[in-house]
């Protein structure tokens, strides 16, 4: 079996065929003739919605909920006899995994998995899943809202009024009509963002070497190389996973190619942008503004230079969080745990080569 990798759209593919390791729910979930015996799941963050936890309990699970950012010792103790883990912001290290001899699945409450030691999971026979499409609409809407807030100077105007400054000069605001939107990564979120712009008659350029022509055309977009997109777009929005291929995909050279009037939006992963280069680009006027929801190190330091720049909107990695999306994410994360405990593959399996390892899971599906 060829090991999978993530393409720029955030989709899983094997080798050259770019196919998703995606199991339809009709094939893998809720099989009536397969019962899950008593099991224990550790939930690493107390703010995860109850809907998914109730689903686990209804199947006979013992659910242990830890407070977010609990000390390592509390997490180590909790996983000693755990069968599953629902992980949000916690870092799943090799040490943690070695202390959990019964653990069969790490189910990410979200779509990123850079905080999970994937190699160790696979070696031990632990499946790693993500919550696929659960928060895609929320993130796409948030990215568009960030574009709008930045273009219209909404945050700056609010700050001025609160400071008792009635400044009616908003001449630097930008209209969306007729502008060009550049989307880096046309996955579930990028494609939704492309459709959200339809009422503004914007041109959409897409950089994603893995996206099909049909997928790009269905969004009313055009394919472009990254350099061409950066040189042309008035708005650039990032929607790719963080991998070795995409780390600092926007660096000093890329920022230098952008329009001086351009607005850069990142609701994906912090490591996609070289933050030091971004600070310099904003200070030197190489780009006009930025709206950033994710950072290389989180929580963001109080003295981080991006927080000192007026043309920048900073938010606390909240793009994927709405009432509806958090419920969906908790349910999908729980369903993924139940699927693995039944010996089935979750909807999106990050490490499909684990199917060949039966040390911890008695898989009932063909790993090929």
By annotation, the residues acting in catalysis are 269, 298, 317
* Element (DSSP H or E) covering residue 290: strand 289-292
CA triplet 34, 37, 39: central angle to 5 degrees?
130
Inter-axis angle of helices 136-151 and 323-341, nearest 10: 150
Whether 289 and 310 have beta carbons less than 8 Å apart is answered as: no
What is residue 213's three-state secondary structure?
helix
Q: Supply the DSSP symbol for 41.
A: E
CA–CA separation, 280 vs 306, rounded Å?
10
Cis peptide before 2 (omega within 30 of 0): no
Picking from 52, 122, 125, 124, the residue whose alpha carbon sits closest to that of residue 87 is: 52
**DSSP codes, 186-239:** -SHHHHHHHHHGGGGT-EEEEE-TTS-HHHHHHTT-EE--HHHHHHH-SEEEE-
Q: Supply the DSSP symbol for 87.
A: E
* Element (DSSP H or E) covering residue 329: helix 323-341
């Amino acid at each position: 079996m060829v090991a999978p990798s993530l393409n720029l759209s955030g989709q899983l593919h094997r080798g050259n065929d770019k196919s998703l390791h995606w199991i339809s729910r009709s094939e893998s979930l809720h099989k009536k003739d397969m019962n899950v015996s008593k099991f224990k799941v550790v939930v690493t963050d107390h703010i995860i919605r109850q809907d998914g936890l109730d689903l686990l309990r209804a199947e006979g699970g013992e659910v242990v909920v830890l407070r977010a950012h609990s000390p390592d010792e509390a997490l180590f103790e909790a996983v000693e006899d755990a069968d599953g883990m629902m992980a949000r912001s916690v870092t799943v290290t090799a040490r943690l995994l070695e202390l959990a001899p019964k653990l069969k699945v790490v189910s990410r409450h979200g779509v990123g998995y850079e905080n999970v030691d994937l190699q160790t999971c696979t070696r031990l026979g632990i499946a790693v899943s993500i919550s696929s499409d659960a928060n895609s609409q929320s993130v796409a809407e948030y990215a568009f809202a960030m574009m709008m807030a930045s273009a219209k100077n909404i945050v700056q105007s609010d700050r001025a009024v609160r400071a008792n400054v009635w400044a009616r000069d908003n001449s630097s605001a930008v209209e969306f009509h007729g502008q060009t939107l550049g989307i880096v990564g046309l996955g579930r979120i990028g494609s939704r963002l492309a459709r959200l712009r339809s009422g503004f008659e914007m041109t959409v350029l897409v950089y994603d070497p893995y996206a099909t022509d049909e997928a790009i055309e269905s969004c009313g977009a055009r394919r472009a190389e990254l350099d061409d997109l950066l040189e042309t777009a008035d708005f650039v929005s990032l929607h790719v996973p963080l991998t070795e291929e995409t780390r600092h995909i926007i660096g000093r050279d890329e920022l230098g190619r952008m329009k001086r009037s351009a607005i850069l939006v990142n609701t994906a992963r912090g490591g996609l942008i070289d933050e030091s280069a971004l600070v310099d680009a904003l200070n030197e006027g190489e780009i006009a503004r930025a709206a950033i929801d994710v950072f290389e190190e989180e929580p963001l330091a109080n003295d981080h230079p991006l927080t000192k720049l007026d043309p920048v909107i900073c938010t606390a990695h909240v793009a994927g969080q709405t009432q509806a999306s958090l419920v969906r994410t908790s349910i999908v994360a729980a369903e993924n745990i139940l699927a693995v405990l039944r010996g089935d593959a979750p909807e999106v399996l990050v490490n499909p080569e684990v199917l060949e390892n039966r040390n911890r899971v008695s898989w009932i599906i063909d790993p090929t």
